Amino acid sequence: MTIKNDDYIFDIEGLNVRYETEDGTVYAVNGLDLKLGYKKTLGLVGETGAGKTTTALAMLRLVPSPPGVVDCKKLEICGQDIRALSAQKLEEVRGKDISMIFQDPMTALNPVFRVVDQIAESLEIHEHLSRSDAQEKAKELLEMVGISRSRANEFAHQFSGGMKQRVVIAIALACNPKLIIADEPTTALDVTIQAQVLDLMKDLKEKHDTSMIMITHDLGIVAEVCDEVAVMYTGRVVEQGTLEDIFERTMHPYTEGLFNSLPNIADRQAMLKPIRGLMPDPTEQPKGCPFASRCDYASPECESEHPVLRYVSDTHKVACSAYDRQPDFLLERRKTR
C-alpha cells in the first residue's frame, strides 16, 4: 500500500533537537517520528521534560538557536516542507496554516494592546484585510469564543484567566488554520473553566475541520478530546495509537505507570502505584531503553538494547523490546481489562 503524503496534515521523521549549553548538551528530542491524519486530534502526553513542547516548537521552527540545534529527516506540514521555507514564507505559514495556543494565557497576550487589535493583527497580515474589516472580523471572533463584543476595546488585565485563554483561542483561530498546536491550553485554569474552554475548542475544531495537537499531561483531557495519542518519554515516542489502543490495550510499561499514578475516582482505597525513581538526566544518552531503570518489567537486555518503535497493529505502535523477546508479554493493566 502506498501512502501519499497529502493523507497527513503533518509528517515528521527523525526529529532531533538538542540544546547545547555550558553545562553540557541536553538531548530534548531524540529521533521522533510522528504523523497525523486530517481533521484528527493528537494528544501528546508526557511529564515535564519529555520533549512535548520542544517538539511543537521545532514544528514551527521556533526552537531558539543558540542553544537549540535541530535536525530532521522530514518535516512536512500541510504538504509543505517546513525545513526548506525562507524566513518570509515561514512568517506566512505561522499563524495562517499553523497556529499555536500557549499554556499561560496570562503571559501570551500583550498587556499594552487592546484585545481586539491583537486578534485583528493576524487578519491584517495574513488575510490582507483593511483595518476596519479586520476589527469587525475580530469582534465576530470574540463573540464566537463567547466574549461580548462590547469588551473588544479592553486590555488583557481586565479579563479573567478563562477569558484571556478565549482571546488566545480567538487569535489562534482568526485565519482558519489547518493545524492548531495547543500547548497545555487549560493547565492554568480552574476545572469548571477548563470544561468550558475544552468544550469550546471541540466545537470550533469540528466547525472548521481543523486538525489539532493537544499537548497535555492530563490523561483525562486526552480521553475527552483526542482521537489519537502519542506518549512521550525522554524525547521519544514510546507508544502511539488510537484512544482505545492507549487506554484499553496499553502496551508500554511507562504508559501503564502513568495510569497507575492517577487517583482512581471509583476506588478510593486503592493505594497509588507511582513510577519509582526519576526521569534520567537529559544530558546523558542511555545505551539501552531510557525507561529501563524505572521499569518493573525490565530484564538485563533492556539495559543494553535500544527498543524500536514498531507497529503491533494497524494503528498501534510501541517501543518496548519485551514484546520482541516474549510474544505473549502482557502488562498487569491488560490482565484486568
Partner 1 sequence: MTDALLDVRGLKKYFETSHGLLHAVDDVSFSIERGKTLGLVGESGCGKSTTGRAILRLIEPTAGEVLFEGVDVVKLGSGAMRKMRKNMQIIFQDPFSSLDPRKTINQIIAEPIKENRIITDKVALEKRVLELMETVGLAERLINTYPHELDGGRRQRIGIARALAMEPKFIICDEPVSALDVSIQAQILNLLKQLQERLGLTYIFITHDLSVVNHFSDDIAVMYLGQIVEKASAEEHFNNPLHPYTKALLSAIPIPDLRNKRQRITLKGEITSPVNLPDACRFAKRCNECVEQCTKGIPPLKEISKGHFVACFKY
CB 232 within 8 Å of CB 45: yes
Closest CB to partner 1 among residues 96, 249: 249
Q: What is the per-residue burial (b if ≥16 Cβ within 10 Å, else e) of 123-135? A: bbebeebeeeebb
Closest CB to partner 1 among residues 100, 188: 188
Spatial CA neighbour of 204 closest among 243, 169, 163, 162: 169
CB 18 within 8 Å of CB 283: no
Asked if residue 275 binds partner 1 (CB under 8 A), the reply is: yes
For residue 62, give Cα distances in angstroms to 90, 111, 122, 125: 10, 22, 18, 19
Spatial CA neighbour of 293 closest among 302, 305, 282: 302
Asked if residue 47 binds partner 1 (CB under 8 A), the reply is: yes
**How many Cβ atoms sit within 10 Å of the Cβ of residue 335?**
7
CB 304 within 8 Å of CB 294: no
- Treating both helix axes as pointing N-terminal to C-terminal, what angle do 161-173 and 115-126 enclose, rounded to 10 degrees? 10
Footprint (CB under 8 A) of partner 1, residues 187-206: 190-196, 198-199
Asked if residue 297 binds partner 1 (CB under 8 A), the reply is: no
Asked if residue 244 binds partner 1 (CB under 8 A), the reply is: yes
Asked if residue 247 binds partner 1 (CB under 8 A), the reply is: yes
Asked if residue 1 binds partner 1 (CB under 8 A), the reply is: no
Interface stretch with partner 1, choices 28-36, 117-125, 126-134, 241-249 (CB under 8 A): 241-249
Interface stretch with partner 1, choices 82-90, 92-100, 254-262, 313-321 (CB under 8 A): 254-262
Footprint (CB under 8 A) of partner 1, residues 255-274: 257-266, 268, 271-274
Minimum CB separation from partner 1 for residue 189, in Å? Answer: 9
CB 318 within 8 Å of CB 63: no
Interface stretch with partner 1, choices 12-20, 102-110, 219-227, 312-320 (CB under 8 A): 219-227
Minimum CB separation from partner 1 for residue 4, in Å? Answer: 31
Task: State which amino acid sits at residue 311.
Answer: Y
| Among 109, 212, 221, 318, contact with partner 1 (rule: CB under 8 A) | 221
Distance, CA of 17 to CA of 150 (rounded, Å): 44
| Among 78, 93, 163, 331, contact with partner 1 (rule: CB under 8 A) | 163
Q: How many residues bind partner 1 (CB under 8 A)?
A: 45
Closest CB to partner 1 among residues 181, 188: 188
- Take residue 7 and report the three cell numbers written for it: 493523507
Closest CB to partner 1 among residues 95, 282: 282
Residues that bind partner 1 (CB under 8 A): 47-48, 160-163, 190-196, 198-199, 217-224, 243-244, 247-248, 257-266, 268, 271-276, 278
